[in-house]
Structure 1
Amino acid sequence: MVGILTYCEGHVELAAHLTRQFSLPGNTPTTAVACRDKHLTRTLLAAAGVPSARSYLVRNADTAVEYSVLLDGPVVLKPRSLAGSAGVHRADTPQQVRNAFAAARNAALLGLEKSAAPGVLIEEYLDGPEISVECVVLGDATVHIAAITRKVLGDEPGFQEVGHLVDATDPLLADPQIHDVALTALNAIGATTGVMHVEMRLTRRGPRIIEINARLGGDLIPHLVHLATGLNLPQIAADLAVGTDPELTPTRSQSAAIRFLYPAVTGRVTTMYAGLSASWLDTFEWTAEPGDHVNAPPHATLLDRLALAVVTGADPDTCHRRLQLTDERCGIHIQPDIVTTACVV
């Protein structure tokens, strides 16, 4: 059996072209482009009547300020084609809009900006909890929701993802609105097969699409799904890529969560320590080391993360307590950057 798939954001278009060239199962290049290009995503969703955010492509800061008035409220500015919340900021005032536009225009992450469609989006701010829906697309009108991921975000104006939680018995799994929005959104961008990572905000008006990704979710979300439900999303994606039926029956029923430690100050890492060992601590890993320079939010990216911890538990509350205990048992020291000021007489 032969198949082609990728979990890398920067390779989804290439993978789609290769599956088409060799007549293998997979989404079309058009669908891959629609997922990478957030402006195209919004355009297709709007045309299909899928609940989303009002969004405009802006070429300069002055135009962004004009559209912020039109949107009449808090706005979000983001790069047209990046990932990992890089360059995404909320803005409430004209000056904040200008600053956020500059941050979005200049954002870079893992080289993705080299193949990204140029431009900045300004969108209405969607209030409410953020989730991702881990979808298995089995056909044009068949979508199986494998899991719901509850996201923990850092303080605004940034939208750094500082943690995720998957619960096998999450009541949102049975929410018909979430299923309908995911299905209509995936149909709108032409998705036909594969594991898709669909991000939403649960607003007072109902679920609204944030973005659609033609790949597995990042941040070890597939690992959380496996720990919580037994479902193996990478294996499911591989099965679909070679044209075989995947196993979609859960074999576990618990919760799993991950938390990322971000620096409290910008500076250079000097020392770190961890002092916890437990059967429920699936993973603890330092992602920084002494000598590394790290940026504190709101200027941090996922490359500034210091550590990650993955825990399991019978329910979400247990996972939250265990993550808190893990935080308390580890520590890191950062030598802050020296800020100098000059007095001109």
Structure 2
Amino acid sequence: MTADSAPERPLLLLVASGWQLFREYLLSSISTEYRVHMFHSTEPSWEQQYLDGWTVLPSTLDGPAMAEAALRLSGEQQVSGVLCWDESRILATSYVAQALGLPNGDPEVVWRLRDKAQTRAALDAAGVPQPRSFPVKTLDQALAAAERVGYPAVLKPRGLGASLGVVRVENAEELRERFAFTRDTPAPEPVVYASDHPVLVEECVVGDEVSVDSVVQDGKVTPLFVGRKVVGYPPYAEEVGHHVDAADPLLLDPDFQQALQDTHTALGFRDGWTHSEFMLTAAGPRLIEVNGRLGGDLIPFLGLLATGIDPGRAAAAAACGLTPNLQPTRQLVGGVRFFYVDEPDSVVESVGFDQARLPAGIVKAVAMATPGKSYSPPPEGTVWGRIALAVALSTEVADCTAALDAAEQALQVEARTS
């Protein structure tokens, strides 16, 4: 390297990539400031244009094995940071960061976030406000736990995300009917617990449901985007949309900021990116869960549109122990809405949007369904039942919602029941 040449960009190790529709914007942005080497279980496809290199491994769920591969890589070139935004792989990734001596390299802490029963126990010990919660294995245990938390109660899988398997029950009869739904909701990847109590029975707290994506450095939490969640298909908790307002008052609310900080302190999470979910009750915020990764459902993308803060670059900087640029450059409102078929087991022949009917506020309208494939609405369909999405950008929440309403009217679906 000559004295006049630019310094080499830091090398970031990325574990897996995720669904292109939901994660390409992150990888594209990161690759402009970092060299990216990816660990994957298959040969990269769309990702290759953004990569400096890649390693195909038998599994990206085996943390110790990935750590050995990372040490071999680090023997060839210096790795500055390790990043993963796949919930199923964040624990395995922490073993890699630990082996390389990089931020977010404590598997015990990351497992405390992955395992919601451990999350509850740590917060309870620290006195952080949250719903009462009991891990259970059997229906009889669930009935007993519900008597302790009171009805209505919430059944929740111990280690899933995206509200998969979450259902509200009003009484013991409904609990008996729906316990198997929660217990048997499949995980995208296997989750193994030291004790076999896969279901949480929790107190039902009510209010506005929000998420917050934050950067954490040396234990200090900086909230960046607040997502206001839109939930549908009761009594199930399907996330059918979100909106992010750059001027959301929670970003400046001292009580909310203190709850967020206390939560991370209690969990021992000191470096990286988190996606936390709260219920804003009449008695104050109640922590629902914390995920050690960027938010899903395009929430960070909405944050990028609304604030100008780049979540990919910020997460990469935090993973490398660098100071991220968290300065907003605009103040807008972004929203996303997901669409579903009306009837279970509907074979989608075609799906798309009438472009002439889409308002100017729609910045993305995408068909997600594969023609000829069967889809169902929640609860059977859940995240994989979505057939299309639309993203809107405006200066006001109401205008953003109106644009998404118009996109829904412009959606054209041909389907038949199988």
Q: In which range does the TM-score fall when normalised by the shorter chain?
A: over 0.9
- Choose from 346, 368, 372 the match for 1:287: 368
Determine helix, strand or coil for the equivalent of 1:306: strand
Correspondences of 1:125-144 after superposition (within 5 Å): 125-140=204-219, 142-144=220-222
Give unpaired runs (5+ residues) of structure 2. 1-9, 11-79
Residue identity opposite 1:40 in structure 2: Q
CA contact (8 A) 2:94 2:104 kept: yes
Correspondences of 1:32-43 after superposition (within 5 Å): 32-43=110-121
Residue aligning to 2:409: 328
Report the alpha carbon displacement of residue 313 of structure 1 after superposing the two structures with TM.
0.3
Residue identity opposite 2:416 in structure 1: Q
Determine helix, strand or coil for the equivalent of 1:192: coil
Residue identity opposite 2:142 in structure 1: A
Residue aligning to 1:341: none
CA contact (8 A) 1:54 1:123 kept: yes
Residue aligning to 2:269: 191
CA contact (8 A) 2:378 2:385 kept: no
Q: CA–CA distance in 2 between the matches of 1:265 and 1:290?
A: 16
Correspondences of 1:243-322 after superposition (within 5 Å): 243-266=321-344, 267-276=346-355, 277-322=358-403
**CA distances 1:138-197 after superposition (whole Å, capped 9, x unpaired):** 222x11111111000013211010001001111121111211111111111111111110
Determine helix, strand or coil for the equivalent of 1:256: strand
CA contact (8 A) 1:151 1:164 kept: yes
Identical aligned pairs, as a percentage? 35
Residue aligning to 1:217: 295
Determine helix, strand or coil for the equivalent of 1:148: strand
CA contact (8 A) 1:197 1:217 kept: yes
Q: CA–CA distance in 2 between the matches of 1:199 and 1:284?
A: 26
Q: Which has the higher contact order (CA 8 A, sep 6+)?
A: 1
Report the alpha carbon displacement of residue 268 of structure 1 after superposing the two structures with TM.
1.6
Report the alpha carbon displacement of residue 27 of structure 1 after superposing the two structures with TM.
4.6
Alignment partner of 1:120 is 2:196: no
Q: CA–CA distance in 2 between the matches of 1:296 and 1:243?
A: 42
Residue aligning to 2:245: 167
CA contact (8 A) 1:254 1:312 kept: yes
Residue identity opposite 2:224 in structure 1: A
Q: CA–CA distance in 1 between the matches of 2:138 and 2:369?
A: 36
**CA distances 1:320-342 after superposition (whole Å, capped 9, x unpaired):** 010011111112133234xxxxx
Q: CA–CA distance in 1 between the matches of 2:114 and 2:318?
A: 21
Q: CA–CA distance in 1 between the matches of 2:145 and 2:320?
A: 46
Alignment partner of 1:157 is 2:238: no
Report the alpha carbon displacement of residue 307 of structure 1 after superposing the two structures with TM.
0.4
TM-score by length of 2: 0.78
**CA distances 1:279-306 after superposition (whole Å, capped 9, x unpaired):** 4322111111321111222322100101
Residue aligning to 2:187: 109
Residue aligning to 2:175: 97
Residue identity opposite 2:354 in structure 1: G
Alignment partner of 1:73 is 2:154: no
CA contact (8 A) 2:272 2:319 kept: yes
**CA distances 1:110-136 after superposition (whole Å, capped 9, x unpaired):** 2x2x13434111001111110001111
Residue aligning to 2:98: 20
Q: CA–CA distance in 2 between the matches of 1:272 and 1:134?
A: 32
Q: Which structure 1 residue ranges, 4+ long, deviate > 3 Å from structure 2? A: none
Residue aligning to 1:343: none
Determine helix, strand or coil for the equivalent of 2:201: strand
TM-score by length of 1: 0.94
Aligned length: 334
Q: CA–CA distance in 1 between the matches of 2:318 and 2:386?
A: 33
- Choose from 91, 110, 133 the match for 1:55: 133
Residue identity opposite 1:290 in structure 2: P
CA contact (8 A) 1:56 1:67 kept: yes
Give unpaired runs (5+ residues) of structure 1. 338-345
Q: CA–CA distance in 2 between the matches of 1:132 and 1:284?
A: 23
CA contact (8 A) 2:155 2:169 kept: yes
